[in-house]
A and B are shown apart, each in its own frame.
Chain A
């Protein structure tokens, strides 16, 4: 099989660290956009986080949003252009800390958009501080003794949280730490976009992803961390699938 770059992605090197999950997730989104033939009617949002340069990699219209506000920006775009495909791509700090209100309300309004939520349990871009999804005991630059020693609370589980909202159509948590997981992730991403095309409403795919750099581990150890630790705290699966 020939390994080709999706048309929706530009043929450029990315700035992501070796072993980072962002590149894989981004590629899955690109492949899905290609397969659904929607590149020319898609508008994506870039987050504040390691994926901020999304627009340097995607060959479709992109707007870069302030930290956490992509869901509000996407709402504005989608309401003005309901027949276009609008997706956000957000990290855990972006989506589940500073942007929590926007996340909950875009979901509850049932906005017909697609959210790709990359959960790497850390603030990548700013150098490895605690994220809302940092797991208990995990060491970060602001939880040097491990999360849980300073009343940080347990990790926030976004799919579980959103599953209680009646406005939500589809929620699935996947990972990109094994080939099998990646294939499952692709299916979920595709479904989340297809839902939007079919005007089914709000879809979010949470992707457990590696950040070897800020976890301060090797690429293989990062894969192990997702498989052995993160999947324990954040079980994979479909949390909501309204017909």
Chain B
């Protein structure tokens, strides 16, 4: 078990058996995260709990904040002070963080935010869900900004993407969201411990507020009043950055899409479940594949367009009443029919559910 191995001293090949939430903590600390602030909410409680255990061992800071609002603003400060930092929550708590996220995005401060989604709207329930897709991908907070949104579909990938998230955040100076769900957070499976290696050449943090010794005083702000066009200029710069990210960072997995007549589009845990349905369909002689975006923003549009050029039909499966499907239709310009299987409120599909749907629409 990893709890006894101090992160930062991981030997390659070491086996870990942790819950998703705990693995995320371990990967974050391994990647140099040294500040965490969060507030309890199911199904992500293991994140602050495990953080509170591990952070002191590496000289980092854990703060149980008085609210998610306070937590995200602590992250705003910790990032401005130069730390690799992270907060996590689940759906209602992520809603509370939105103002802070907008500020962080505007100030272009790097940080990682995990949303271990649960059922909504309102207090909802504590079952897994993917109903925060719009909030994560389309904004959530006010103003024109983008989060880099990563959707892991296994614990192995959760480990990788958690580490990579810190690199993306630093490289692009942008908040990164890990959009997980209660299933991923709560499940455990053996994973090879990955020692952290940066995947990008990281820029020097020339924005850090650590006292102006030997340099001009720095300001981090998001108010742009003067000259009158200052905010337009700021927005244009942000948009340019988002264009760069969109051109450089589109991650997508294709499973047996080459000859597929029907392609399932799904992300995160739903995609993992859908893989089982693909196998069942293939065994039944149906040419079915899967396309799985790993980055939800930027959305891997060209990969979807390519699939729409070869397949006859798409089937979107998601744990919501239909959010991700809008991006699929946009990306494929509705060139082929898009079928849907999904429901909000804590529903999740089984491979059998999906296979049944495939059987019903395959020949239609």
Tell me if B76 and A58 are in contact (CB < 8 A). no
Are A76 and B73 closer than 8 Å at their CB atoms? yes
A59-73 toward B: CB 8 Å interface, digit per residue (1/0)? 111111110010011
User: Across the interface, do B99 and A43 meet the contact criterion of CB distance under 8 Å?
Assistant: no
**A105 contacts B by Cβ under 8 Å:** yes
Contacts of A104 in B (CB 8 A): 66
- Residue from B80, B211, B214 within 8 A of A76 (CB atoms): B80
Q: Which of A34-42, A184-192, A202-210 contacts B (4 or more CB under 8 A)?
A: A34-42
Q: Give Cα distance in the complex from A52 to B221, angstroms.
A: 10
* 6 cross-chain pairs, A with B, having the tightest CB-CB distances, nearest first: A76-B77, A72-B73, A76-B78, A73-B77, A80-B81, A64-B221
| Chain B residues whose C-beta falls within 8 Å of the C-beta of A79 in the assembled complex | 35, 61, 63, 74, 78
Among B69, B74, B75, B214: residue with most chain A CB under 10 A:
B74
List the B side residues contacting A74 at CB < 8 Å. Answer: 77
A183 an interface residue at 8 Å Cβ cutoff?
no
Cα–Cα distance between A42 and B61 once the two chains are bound (Å): 21
Do A69 and B221 have beta carbons less than 8 Å apart?
A: no
Interface centre among B35, B69, B209 (most CB of A within 10 A): B209
Asked if B70 and A105 sit within 8 Å, CB to CB, the answer is yes
Q: How far is the CB of A165 from chain B (nearest CB, A)?
A: 13
In the complex, number of A-B residue pairs with CB atoms less than 8 Å apart: 129
Nearest chain B CB to A213 CB, angstrom units: 18
Q: Does B307 interact with chain A (Cβ within 8 Å)?
A: no
Instruction: Report how far A73 CA is from B85 CA in the complex, Å.
Output: 13
Minimum CB–CB distance for B4 against chain A, Å: 26
A40 to chain B, nearest CB (A): 4
Distance of A207 Cα from B91 Cα, bound (Å):
40
Query: Which residues of the other chain, A, contact B9 by a CB distance below 8 angstroms?
Result: none
**Cβ contact within 8 Å between B211 and A73:** no
A residues in contact with B69, CB < 8 Å: 69, 72, 101-102
Contact between chains at B221 and A76 (CB < 8 Å): no
Does A80 contact B70, Cβ atoms closer than 8 Å? no
A169-191 residues with Cβ-Cβ distance < 8 A to B are none
Chain B contacts of A73 at CB under 8 A? 73-74, 76-77, 80
Q: Does chain B have a CB within 8 A of A46?
A: yes
Q: Which residues of B contact A (CB under 8 A)?
A: 34-35, 37, 61, 63, 65-67, 69-71, 73-83, 85, 99-100, 103, 209-214, 217-223
In the complex, chain A residues 64-98 whose Cβ is within 8 Å of any chain B Cβ: 64-66, 69, 72-81, 84-85
A225 at the B interface (CB under 8 A)? no
Closest beta carbon of chain A to B95's beta carbon, Å:
15
- Give every chain A residue within 8 A of B82 (Cβ-Cβ): 80-81
A residues at B contact (CB < 8 Å): 39-43, 46, 52, 55, 58-66, 69, 72-81, 84-85, 101-102, 104-105
Q: Known contacts being A64-B219, A75-B74, is A80 close to B67, with CB within 8 Å? A: no
A13 vs chain B, min Cβ distance (A) = 14
Please give, as numbers and ranges, the residues of chain A lying within 8 Å of B61 by CB-CB distance: 79-80
In the complex, what residues of B have CB within 8 A of residue A81's CB? 81-82, 210-211
Given the contacts A62-B217, A76-B85, A80-B81, A102 and B212 also touching, CB distance less than 8 Å? no
| Distance from B263 Cβ to chain A, minimum over Cβ atoms (Å) | 43
Contact A72 B213 (CB under 8 A): no
Q: Could you tell me the distance between the alpha carbons of A76 and B81 in the complex, rounded to whole angstroms?
A: 8
For residue B211, which residues in chain A have a CB less than 8 angstroms away from its CB?
A: 40-43, 60-61, 81, 84-85
Q: How far is the CA of A73 from the CA of B72 in the complex (A)?
A: 9
Q: Closest A-chain residue to B109, C-beta based?
A: A63
From known contacts A41-B213, A46-B221, A105-B66, infer whether A63 and B80 are also in contact, taking CB-CB under 8 Å.
yes
